Structure 1
């Protein structure tokens, strides 16, 4: 089969599976399980439904002898160009067992696509990983999601849509770091919108159900401007819609915002690029929320606020408190807005 690139992104690899002749061997491993599950499904989809009894084999490494996997890979496909052999849960077996696949990888069958899935952990066999890469196979490491906004932006682009900055922030706020949920929500937009359409806050509100006016993005904006009335309205909305507005996420976003704000106040480079770098972000565009916050809060107030957020976080977890978490969040907003900086 065709030689394949040894390192590909998730989007590129999924595209390659659909459009190109696959390589003989794929090793999918790493912390982020969603990518591995999605790619395994893509490989399985290469075999037509009617042919799956003959040309698709799924094994679970802890329950299967490796020699059985190798024997299956050596078989010829039935009335097809190739067969697909998927071995799941490779993370549950040791390196010695996985090493038994190395001789096969070095002389793999051109009529078999072998897919090895180590979900949630890197492959325990360095020897197998090297063999796959050295023999025209593909090694894909599924890295844990670090930047939700980048993942959303990438998937929106992959779906041939565009998204406004506020819409991007709203989605990141709403879906969190659950990749499965991210892809499902954006798939909804793909069905509802034409190719090249712009994903706006109004579109998100209509098709996903998140309020464009009452969300954590707008809450941070209200707090940055010390708009108490709007902040309390959003807090009350959260309490009336707890399923879509978990208080844990609200406290986390407040912590992120105010801790970043403290970093910005102490930054020596006050240019937008310098301030972004201070927060560990690329680019030279600073959110207006941070610009407003730098005017509204001083360092001593921010130190007090971070203490208040930590106490509120403990209280919502039942430490020295049995109050409704949303009432604790509302009181936290009041205390933040009235922080004097006495610590």
Structure 2
């Protein structure tokens, strides 16, 4: 029978894997796909759970039936101590009425490891609370800046590479907080700097690619400074790179929401670190956001967001064409 677990920590699952003592029940949830894939693969590798293994069964999607999962969990492993039952994106943890699993969690056989991987969950739900009581929940949200820096520096240490503080800040600024993207860019940087004593900021600038979020950040800066022609040229460049117009609009809206938050916090009561955390941005960018926000009053930023929202609705309802509408929006905001 499953034992009650109280700690929701990555250190605990790391210990479980290192000691080959997996629990019967895990839930990985959140938007950081890198972490969910990492721990899924580590558990699969530990149990030798390949697609054609008799000790591995997987379910995917919202049509998954509770009874099928329970049946899989009750199946004994073949020539092994444990079998893995993997359930991905079931949606069970954001809707009610999943009563059979809720009751079953306390009775999962010790010969089974039941692993749920979900994008969205509701921590108030009975199923979530039951799993948390009898298993281990790992919140795979986007990691904060300090955590990402420690992870990057740890990865570089394994390669016997050092990095300057300025280079590390610039690297994160270019890569964003998506761990999969960071890992990809880090591998490129390590290969580029192989044999060097350390990584400098110019190494980062030479090798690392800007994310679309970086490009939109630059576009907003151009808009704030009324450089409409340059802002439009950047927009056209993004379209040439096959970026979807609606994604560009969504990121423009996000940037102006950040400016509104920063402008609201610019009253002398908050440190820059606190402002960055509250606005959900890296500290590397906060000075620039403060400068950009000073181009507007709070009411002006609210009006801009309303105009962006109206444009978004008009496109989605077919009243306006997406590419041209966003072009007009950029010109209007930068004029």
Q: Quick check: TM above 0.5?
A: yes
Give how far 1:46 is off: 0.8
Equivalences for residues 97-112 of structure 1 within 5 A? 97-104=101-108, 109=110, 112=111
Q: State the distance in 1 between where 2:50 and 2:170 align.
A: 46
2:331 to 307, 326, 334: 334
Q: State the distance in 2 between where 1:200 and 1:208 align.
A: 14
Equivalences for residues 150-169 of structure 1 within 5 A? 156=152, 159-160=155-156, 164-169=168-173
Task: Give the number of the structure whose alpha-carbon radius of gyration is greater.
Answer: 1
2:245 to 244, 247, 255: 247
Give how far 1:14 is off: 6.1
Q: Which runs of 5+ in 1 are unaligned?
A: 133-137, 176-181, 339-343
Equivalences for residues 57-72 of structure 1 within 5 A? 57-58=56-57, 60=59, 62=65, 64=68, 66=70, 69-72=73-76
Contact 1:261 1:290 in 2 (8 A): yes
Q: State the distance in 2 between where 1:279 and 1:192 align.
A: 29
The match for 1:115 is 114
The TM-score normalised by the length of structure 2 is 0.67
Contact 1:149 1:169 in 2 (8 A): no
The match for 1:287 is 286
The match for 2:160 is none
Contact 1:262 1:299 in 2 (8 A): yes
2:185 to 176, 189, 205: 189
Q: Which runs of 5+ in 2 are unaligned?
A: 158-162
Give how far 1:232 is off: 2.6
Residue deviations 1:90-111 (CA, integer Å, cap 9, x gap): 765832345235245xxx54xx
The TM-score normalised by the length of structure 1 is 0.65
Residue deviations 1:287-310 (CA, integer Å, cap 9, x gap): 233232244233454344333322
The match for 2:316 is 317
SS in 2 for 1:254: helix
The 1:201/1:155 distance shift into structure 2, 3 A limit, reads farther
Q: Return the structure number with greater relative CO, CA threshold 8 A, min gap 6.
A: 2
Residue deviations 1:152-182 (CA, integer Å, cap 9, x gap): 667645644876445434433xx9xxxxxx4
| Pair 1:83-2:82 in alignment | yes
Give how far 1:45 is off: 0.8
| Pair 1:171-2:175 in alignment | yes
Q: Structure 1 stretch 275-284 or stretch 83-92: which is displaced more?
A: 275-284
Count of aligned pairs: 305
